[in-house]
Amino acid sequence: MVEIGKKKLDSGWIAARSTEVDLNGVQLTTTHPPSTTDLSSPWIEAVVPGTVLGTLLKNKLVPDPFYGLNNETIIDIADSGREYYTFWFFTTFQCALLEHQHVDLNFRALNYSAEVYVNGHIRILPKGMFRRHSLDVTDILHPDGQNLLAVLVNPPDHPGKIPPQGGQGGDHEIGKDVAAQYVEGWDWMTPIRDRNTGIWDEVTIFVTGPVKIVEPHLVSTFYDNYERAYLHCTTELENRSAWAVDCSLNIQVTADLEGNFCLVEHLHTQELSIPPGSCIQYTFPPLFFYRPNLWWPNGMGKQSLYTVVITVDVKDYGESDSWSHLFGFRKIESTIDEATGGRLFKVNGEPIFVRGGNWILSDGLLRLSDKRYSTDIKFHADMNLNMIRCWGGGLAERPEFYHYCDIYGLLVWQEFWITGDVDGRGDPISNPNGPLDHDLFLVCAMDTIKLLRNHPSLALWVGGNEQIPPDDINIALKNNLKLHPYFESMGGVSNVSKDLLPATDDPSLYLDGTRVYIKGSMWDGFANSKGDFTDGPYGIQNPEDFFKDSFYQYGFNPEVGSVGVPVAATIKTTMPAQGWKIPVLSMQPEGYVKEIANPIWEYHKYIEYSNKGLVRYQIDLYGEPKDLDDFCEKAQLINYIQYRALLEGWTSRMWTKYTGVLIWKTQNPWTGLRGQFYDHLHDQTAGFYGCRCAAEPVHIQLNLDTYFIEVVNTTSKELSSIAVEASVWDLDGTCTYYEVTDSLAVPAKRTQIIVEMMYPKSENPKPVYFLLLKLFNTLDYAVMSRNFYWLHLPGGDYKLLEPYRAKRLPLKISSKVSITNSTYNVQVNVQNSSRSPDFDRLMDRMNHGKRQIENNSAFKKMLAAECKKKHVGLLGRIYRHLVSSDDGLKVVEVDGTDSGVAFFLHFSVHAANRDLQEEKDTRILPVHYSDNYFSLIPGETMPVNISFDVPSGVTPQIQLHGWNYSDGLSISIY
């Protein structure tokens, strides 16, 4: 018997332009099949899943559209006509069925419509980019198992034209179709020339017996403060045979345990009889769980997942079909917060302060992969974010995306395919009535809901971006996505008072029933709730402004954005030498310094590091950049400050003014130069680590407006027995200010002001200085949060940091590596082994119960104030702990005679044995770092974990660069 289940058809495809093929689909799949091994014109190797443009790129028939200005040389569908990007895709597949077996040919998505031919038989796939197609091909398969498949894929009906001025969504014609709207270009993206035509999601064949399992729906409910839970499940069963069948329907729920073991939590069997050729719906009795392991968002707890397996066994046949899914027990509630007016989310009864990002898609050419999704979502978790918004001009994201959001705890806001720019405003004015075919839109929406609804990470549905759908679509979505009464909440208290719900009211009978539907991204608790374009702003801001009460007036900002230039290596890899020229400055009459970027940067949507009338040119704060490397390094300093301040400013007003914020945007689906925490090549900017720092669940921060030190506690537990340490260091490595505030407690889910950082008000403060904040547990001196700032006095700048580069500070670097298959895990400890000029005296004073508080004009003279005799200097204790034995690690010592802060250190991983020509990029990407772009005071050590996969035949090498180490240091890992 052929094994039941799914088989992907993701290799062996060839493609050809339809105008170059003289045969029809019947001939291609009967008498004149093209050879998949003898590629001759017009047939070429195809990318499936993928797009026509991806196939052309794979065969080097077009240049890389993401490199330099190459995209301008690729013919646009508006100029070529739709036929130019209408392609045949052809493959063969092996499938020979036994008696009573059935097989479906499944297309999870394609763009935009298609004719499918299997062994000479035609099936027409209707229009729509976001719908699944399932074809029963049981009766047309060849007895010998050798089958021919040809698919003629047509582009969107309204691909549109690109106006000379570009714009949001081109001429907006794409909005007439139910398709991704970004493809005509945006202010962060150039046009995709084929409009993503192709079989862009997986193709599979799926074998079953006489009975097929269809669209199971899983829902959990809770009682007694989450002590008791019930798993509800409804599924459809389709009898594909010509006779009535008796079958056993089974559901099994297991929990993974340590050591590759699993615990069977539930096993339930139901005997059923299904009439011939019919489809029935069956709802299981609710399955009871006592104290189940709950699924929590990132930063709130563990992402516990159970495996649910549903099987159907047919009498006198055996197992007919099987379905499995990871399931998380959790309850999401969403209301408008009375205190702030912002939308409030609760997970398992606990309010969650949302700090997340806007997501476009992983790759503009839809080169989507499990590995890329895994990296993308882990990056978001590494940044301590807890929500991703799937923007309406992009995709209904794929199950693989949601799988990793389930794994890493990222709540997902999923929008449907409406944007204000393309569906009601813009230049030219777009169609306010949405797509031409409203029924098609709803078909795609209903199918998308069924595809994604079982994922615990999915938090809410939204009708559109900065726009609401047309009335009929909006009403239909609202009705279809109505909440089950159990999930209708008011202040988090369920309206359902009865214990177990009757079977006729089982929540798994709803299309979804568990998540709210909001009609648009600026309505009902988002922005000003009225759709008046009160999201943003999108340019660079003065860091202190994020903390001011006047900065943003509404409780939840769905979009606020800023800069995002990547590292120099990325620019050199994605642009020719003409694109390595840094912006030229132009003084405008009103005193505004404007950046004039080179044409390639302009094409890649560069956003300035100044903001007319608001923010002075930030790069210049560090001195005029000499070249691309210098410019990009200084840009990273600003990226770090900008995004840390953004999130810290929002968190400073947690629950008193704000309920959440989503940054526009976290990533780039192409090689853009704005609004990103990591680039398209998967290398992080320093903004990534500024965000990571600021979004810690427990965090210490400096309010840049008031200069009060604040402790943020987003967790559900009170922080007690904690202390705050603030130390200021000058450019000579002298500690000029030291203060400890102890015996502190911070309530759960609270941002609490601790003490003012008085150094700027002291006598003769330094114009540029470093501030290190640490939050300690006083019971064991464990560091709960660490935050390092470089600061200047009001009205000043950072130009004194330029000569600081000449300092030669000694470093001690130890490393230890473990290798599993091709994955390297490296533990690195970096120690600033310099000693401040007053180090011994500072340690002596601390260990005798003294607290250093401020300095006078002399560099080395210290003024000390008496502190409590019971307090021993935390800095001294932690220092002695961190410089303990190397424990067999490989050690590299870097000589240096100066003392000071080792400033802005950052790792990168390279292929040591790759061609090292200057124009070649030797980086190994992606890499996961536990921290990067960090600074160390004298005597301090930073442990960093580094993880990456190494291509076959490549020897990796870790390098460390920094403000004081521009030439870089190689770190031994062997």
Instruction: Render pLDDT for 692-709 as a digit per residue (tens, 0 to 9).
Output: 999 999 999 999 999 999
pLDDT of residue 276: 97
Q: Give the pLDDT of residue 400.
A: 98
Buried b (16+ CB within 10 A) or exposed e, 895-912: ebeebbbbbbbbbbbbbe
486 Cα distance to chain centroid: 31
> Do the Cβ atoms of 567 and 632 come closer than 8 Å?
yes
pLDDT tens column, 666-689: 999 999 999 999 999 999 999 999
- CA 967, CA 596: separation in Å to the nearest integer? 29
**What CATH number belongs to 813-857+878-971?**
2.60.40.10
Q: Tell me how crowded residue 105 is: count the other CB atoms within 10 A of its CB.
A: 25
Query: In whole angstroms, what is the distance from residue 415 CA to residue 437 CA?
Result: 18
**Per-residue pLDDT, 844:** 55
Which residues are designated catalytic? 466, 559
Q: Given CA atoms 323, 328, 331, 334 in this order, what sign does their dihedral have?
A: negative
- Residue 591's Cβ-count burial label (10 Å; 0-12, 13-18, 19+) is exposed
| Backbone φ and ψ of 443, nearest 5° | -60, -45
User: Backbone phi, then psi, for 743, in 5-degree steps?
Assistant: 55, 45
Give yes or no on whether 211-327 and 698-805 have one common fold: yes
Instruction: Give dist(CA 586, CA 84) in Å, integer.
Output: 44
- What class is the 5-208 domain? mainly beta
Question: What would the pLDDT profile of 106-152 be if each residue is shown by its tens digit?
Answer: 999 999 999 999 999 999 999 999 999 999 999 999 999 999 999 99
DSSP single-letter state for residue 149: E
pLDDT tens track for 850-883: 333 233 333 223 333 322 222 334 544 434 333 3
**Cα three-residue angle 811-940-860, rounded to 5 degrees:** 95
Token pair recorded at residue 11: 């290799």
More confident residue, 266 or 228: 228
Q: List all residues 6 or more positions away from 882 whose beta carbon is below 8 Å from its beta carbon.
A: 831, 940, 941
Q: What is the mean pLDDT of residues 570-589?
A: 95
Task: Indicate the pLDDT class of residue 501, thresholds 50, 70 and 90.
Answer: low
d(CA 786, CA 941): 12
Average pLDDT over residues 796-824: 95
CATH 3.40.710.10 is held by the domain 698-805: no
Domains of the chain, by residue range, sit at 5-208, 211-327, 332-492+505-694, 698-805, 813-857+878-971
The amino acid at residue 864 is: A
- The whole-number pLDDT of residue 813 equals 95
Q: What are phi and psi for residue 480, nearest 5 degrees?
A: -70, -25
Q: Are residues 331 and 220 in contact, defined by beta-carbon separation less than 8 angstroms?
A: yes
Rounded distance between C-alpha atoms, residue 596 and residue 228, angstroms: 63
Cβ burial, residue 456 (10 Å; 0-12/13-18/19+): buried
Which tens digit of pLDDT belongs to each residue from 174-204? Answer: 999 999 999 999 999 999 999 999 999 999 9
pLDDT at 852: 32
Dihedral, CA of residue 402, residue 406, residue 411 and residue 413, to nearest 10: 20
CB 773 within 8 A of CB 890: no
Q: Are 842 and 853 in contact (CB under 8 A)?
A: no
Averaged confidence pLDDT in the chain: 91
At residue 155's C-alpha, the angle toward residues 152 and 157, to 5°, is 125
74 pLDDT band (50/70/90 cuts)? very high
Q: Which CATH class is domain 211-327?
A: mainly beta
State in words which class domain 332-492+505-694 has.
alpha beta
